[in-house]
């Protein structure tokens, strides 16, 4: 009876160890890919403004930063560039739903990375579910932001006419998809590992 218990112990333990190791690897890769989605801009918008002064505005968007460059068509006017960071009041437009959305993306990104790293070190189902849910939320919010930004500059203002000339979704957005896929696989492996653990415990008890 003791020999049977030893056989039941070693094989399931090795399998659970392999599953746990694979889950940690997938979680780590998911965090790395998601880190790239934070570092890289997720959207680029360029628009042409005609009127008293004609210029081209090119803007790159992160959840925590906006980089804007303006090029004038008059040779006498030098182009200018500015970076606006999330801690600056001018980063947000008070009362704008888009400002709230961008802030929510930033918070979701930080929480995704934090819970993703924690899930690698702590074997808790909630910790493996959290980065999956938060990364999915970031994707939804980014998609909404991209849609709003694409239409926001095609307007007429007083003596000026603004028209979008280029609207591009950038790698900061696309990196979230392989990241969420890895978080999903990590969550599934966590469930499989828990089921194997509970099955082994029941089998070991019945054998004894």
Ranges of the chain with pLDDT below 70: 1-12, 93-95, 153-160, 162, 196-208
* Distance of alpha carbon 18 from alpha carbon 11, whole angstroms: 11
Phi, psi of 82 (to 5 degrees): -145, 145
CB 1 within 8 A of CB 207: yes
* Distance of alpha carbon 186 from alpha carbon 27, whole angstroms: 6
Q: What percent of the chain has pLDDT over 90?
A: 50
Q: What pLDDT shows up at residue 207?
A: 53
CB 30 within 8 A of CB 131: yes
| Cβ-proximal residues to 80 (8 Å cutoff; 6+ apart), any chain | 69, 70
* Three-state SS letters, 111-162: HHHHHHHHHHHCCCHHHHHHHHHHHHHHHHHHHHHHHHHHHHCCCEECCEEE
Domains annotated for the chain, with CATH where assigned, are 2-207 (1.20.140)
Beta bridge partners of 76: none
22 φ/ψ sector (left φ>0, alpha ψ -120 to 50, else beta): alpha
* Distance of alpha carbon 205 from alpha carbon 208, whole angstroms: 5
* Distance of alpha carbon 134 from alpha carbon 162, whole angstroms: 35
DSSP-derived 3-state class of residue 65? strand
Q: What pLDDT shows up at residue 159?
A: 54
Q: What pLDDT shows up at residue 66?
A: 93
């Amino acid at each position: 009876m003791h020999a049977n218990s030893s056989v039941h112990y070693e094989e399931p333990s090795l399998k659970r160890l392999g599953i746990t190791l694979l889950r940690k690897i997938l979680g780590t890769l998911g965090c790395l890919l998601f880190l790239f989605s934070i570092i890289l801009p997720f959207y680029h918008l360029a628009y042409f403004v005609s009127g008293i002064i004609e210029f081209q505005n090119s803007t790159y968007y992160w959840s925590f930063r906006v980089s804007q460059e303006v090029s004038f068509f008059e040779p006498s006017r030098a182009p200018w560039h500015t970076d606006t960071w999330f801690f600056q009041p001018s980063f947000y437009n008070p009362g704008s739903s888009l400002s709230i959305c961008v802030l929510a993306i930033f918070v979701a990104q930080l929480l995704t990375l934090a819970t993703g790293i924690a899930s690698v070190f702590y074997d808790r189902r909630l910790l493996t579910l959290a980065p999956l849910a938060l990364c999915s939320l970031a994707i939804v919010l980014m998609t909404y932001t991209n849609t709003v930004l694409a239409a926001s500059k095609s307007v007429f203002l007083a003596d000026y006419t603004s028209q979008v000339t280029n609207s591009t979704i950038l790698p900061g957005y696309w990196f979230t998809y392989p990241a969420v896929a890895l978080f999903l696989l990590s969550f599934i492996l966590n469930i499989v590992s828990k089921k194997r653990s509970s099955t082994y415990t029941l089998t070991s008890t019945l054998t004894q």
